[in-house]
Structure 1
Amino acid sequence: MSKVVINSYEEFERLLGQQIGVSDWLEVTQERINQFADATLDHQWIHVDVERAKTESPFKSTIVHGYLTLSLLPYFWNQIIEVNNLKMMVNYGMDKMRFGQAVLSGQRIRMTAELHSLVNLRGTAKAEIKFFIEIEGQKKKALEGIATFLYYFC
């Protein structure tokens, strides 16, 4: 799927209530999990101890940190949309976020996004994006919620 290009508030508004797009699949490797553990100082064994997870985890594998899954939103979002004519964009908040299913090391995930709401705040577009992080081959979502961004158009 090609990237959606937005050049103005009005173009953004036309997407209201619609699916904006779907990202590519990304494999979450054990190396990435370990790097995230190092960056966040979260070395809980269920994420980083492969041998122990094989025998003691109910998943029989290490699992991806939930916050690692969440931290991939900007990567996926940038695959789906390109917003031009901006002074800046600011992450504003997260709402109704739920982790539905653990992502196992080596599984592939992707994001589906739709424009949930859009408000014009004196020239600043407040966009609420409903997102779903899917796990390849699984029905249940890994993560879903609403990400809010402020887009300051020129």
Structure 2
Amino acid sequence: MRVFTSLDEVAGAVGEQLGTSDWLRIDQDRVNQFADATGDHQWIHVDVERSKDGPFGGTIAHGYLTLSLIPYLGAQVFALDTPGAKLNYGVNKVRFPNPVLVGSRVRSHVSVADVSDLPKGKQLTLKHTVEIEDQDKPACVAETVVLLLP
């Protein structure tokens, strides 16, 4: 795991591949809990019987569930032990090129895409590529933005 202890160290890591998380199995219980939390109970996510005849042959994870796993998966790859506040600022771009079938395993590859100076700190842009085991196309590609304040 890569641990950053200063803003200068973060700035020096632009273009660096930080690593890859462990695999995480996406089970139906996790998908159902996400559906309950968000109110998104579309049958393709939660109706196991109906989805067998659907376009993917089974239930799939919500795209936003996959996106929401980025902090959990990323915490296995890097830590920001820099002084000051660390604030989620947003997401520049998110794509879901491939659905995650329930029962599949995913993991995230993390790299530092950019670090820019702000009047009161740094803006860190991370690229996350969430792959699905034994699939050519990733489940999610996202650029997340973090504000690092001294």
Q: Scaled by the length of structure 1, what TM-score is found? A: 0.93
Paired residues for 1:125-144 under 5 Å: 125-144=122-141
Residue of structure 1 aligned with 2:65, choices 41, 65, 68: 68
C-alpha distance in 1 between matches for 2:104 and 2:61: 9
Q: 1:85 to 1:128 in 2, by over 3 A?
A: closer
> After TM superposition, what 4+ stretches of structure 1 lie above 3 angstroms from structure 2?
none
Residue of structure 1 aligned with 2:89, choices 74, 84, 92: 92
Paired residues for 1:38-53 under 5 Å: 38-53=36-51
Q: Percent identity?
A: 44
Say if 2:8 is the partner of 1:25.
no
- Corresponding residue for residue 75 of structure 2: 78
Using the TM superposition, give the Cα deviation of residue 87 of structure 1 relative to its aligned residue in structure 2, in angstroms. 2.2
Q: Point out where structure 1 has 5 or more consecutive residues left out of the alignment.
A: none
For the residue of structure 2 that corresponds to 1:93, the secondary structure is strand
Q: Scaled by the length of structure 2, what TM-score is found? A: 0.96
RMSD: 1.1
Using the TM superposition, give the Cα deviation of residue 120 of structure 1 relative to its aligned residue in structure 2, in angstroms. 2.1
Using the TM superposition, give the Cα deviation of residue 145 of structure 1 relative to its aligned residue in structure 2, in angstroms. 2.0
Say if 2:129 is the partner of 1:111.
no
